[in-house]
């Protein structure tokens, strides 16, 4: 029996996550088949210089830095990896260490006043700028990249239609919808590792052997969950889905 981990994140995150899991998990196969490709582009509004930037992904950082040479902004980042990406480009960053909810809570706790500018993708799971405006702040957002749908590879479709355990980490509601819409005739015992409850709710009843949610909504939380699921998958006799 072979346990396979399927990584469907965009590159370069997909390869980074695959390398992490290969180092952590013994005797597993890791297959990378992104269901989204990042296309940078868009425009920035006029910047006065007093904006507080908000980044909810590494791609937002990259998209902004491709459009502007300015680095003299304070910013909030949704998590440590995004904050590190901002710092690497010379932008001072504060990490919220979690998800959009944690980000908004950190901004409120620190009493930051803005004005805020959220640099985001064309598809987002949370309306950060809208939430800030509802809290009485001046906040705008602008799209600096798109997440273009891509097809699962024939290799992955064959794995989904096989009999051996398959672990599927899902990092966003949209990626969950794309993967599960493309996956046809799933017969493999499917272990879904969801980064949040919103992601888990996108998994239709009966599609997976089990769905688990990461203790923390970030990459370390997901890596720990996938390791746990690898151990569970290896206990399945013959890789058959329980009835």
Task: Categorize the per-residue pLDDT at 36 as very low, low, confident or very high, splitting at 50, 70 and 90.
Answer: very high
39 has a pLDDT exceeding 60: yes
Is 32 exposed, middle or buried (CB count within 10 Å of its CB: 0-12, 13-18, 19+)? middle
Contact 188, 164 (CB under 8 A): yes
SS3 state at 239: helix
Task: Categorize the per-residue pLDDT at 229 as very low, low, confident or very high, splitting at 50, 70 and 90.
Answer: very high
Q: For residue 208, what are its two tokens?
A: 């997976």
Asked, as a colleague might, if the bond just before 40 is cis with ω within 30 of 0, I would say no
Q: What percentage of the chain has pLDDT greater than the value 70? A: 97
241 has a pLDDT exceeding 70: no
pLDDT tens digits, one per residue of 81-128: 899 999 999 999 999 988 889 999 999 999 998 899 999 999 988 899
The pairing of strands 36-40 and 28-32 is unpaired
Across the chain, mean pLDDT equals 92
Contact 82, 57 (CB under 8 A): yes
240 has a pLDDT exceeding 50: no
239 has a pLDDT exceeding 60: no
Q: For residue 213, what are its two tokens?
A: 């949610």
pLDDT tens digits, one per residue of 147-156: 999 999 999 9
pTM: 0.81
The lowest-confidence range among 35-39, 61-65, 236-240 is 236-240
Q: What is the pLDDT of residue 237?
A: 56
pLDDT tens digits, one per residue of 128-186: 999 999 999 999 999 999 999 999 999 999 999 999 999 999 999 999 999 999 998 89
Separation CA 57–CA 86 (nearest Å) = 10
Task: Categorize the per-residue pLDDT at 41 as very low, low, confident or very high, splitting at 50, 70 and 90.
Answer: very high
């Amino acid at each position: 029996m072979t346990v396979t981990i399927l990584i469907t994140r965009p590159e370069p995150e997909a390869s980074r996550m695959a390398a992490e899991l290969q180092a952590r998990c013994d005797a597993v196969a890791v297959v990378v088949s992104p269901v989204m490709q990042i296309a940078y582009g868009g425009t920035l509004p006029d910047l006065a210089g007093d904006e507080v930037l908000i980044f909810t992904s590494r791609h937002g950082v990259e998209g902004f830095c491709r459009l502007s040479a300015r680095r003299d902004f304070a910013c909030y980042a949704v998590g440590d990896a995004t904050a590190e990406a901002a710092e690497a480009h010379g932008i001072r960053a504060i990490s919220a260490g979690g998800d959009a909810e944690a980000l908004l809570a950190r901004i409120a706790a620190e009493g930051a006043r803005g004005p805020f500018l959220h640099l985001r993708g064309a598809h987002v799971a949370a309306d950060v700028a809208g939430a800030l405006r509802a809290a009485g702040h001046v906040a705008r957002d602008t799209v600096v990249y798109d997440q273009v749908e891509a097809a699962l590879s024939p290799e992955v479709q064959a794995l989904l239609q096989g009999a051996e355990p398959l672990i599927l980490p899902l990092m966003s509601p949209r990626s969950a919808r794309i993967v599960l819409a493309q996956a046809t005739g799933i017969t493999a015992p499917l272990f879904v590792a969801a980064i949040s409850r919103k992601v888990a709710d996108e998994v239709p009843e009966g599609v997976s052997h089990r769905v688990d949610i990461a203790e923390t909504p970030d990459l370390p939380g997901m890596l720990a969950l996938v390791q746990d699921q690898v151990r569970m998958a290896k206990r399945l006799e013959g890789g058959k889905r329980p009835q």
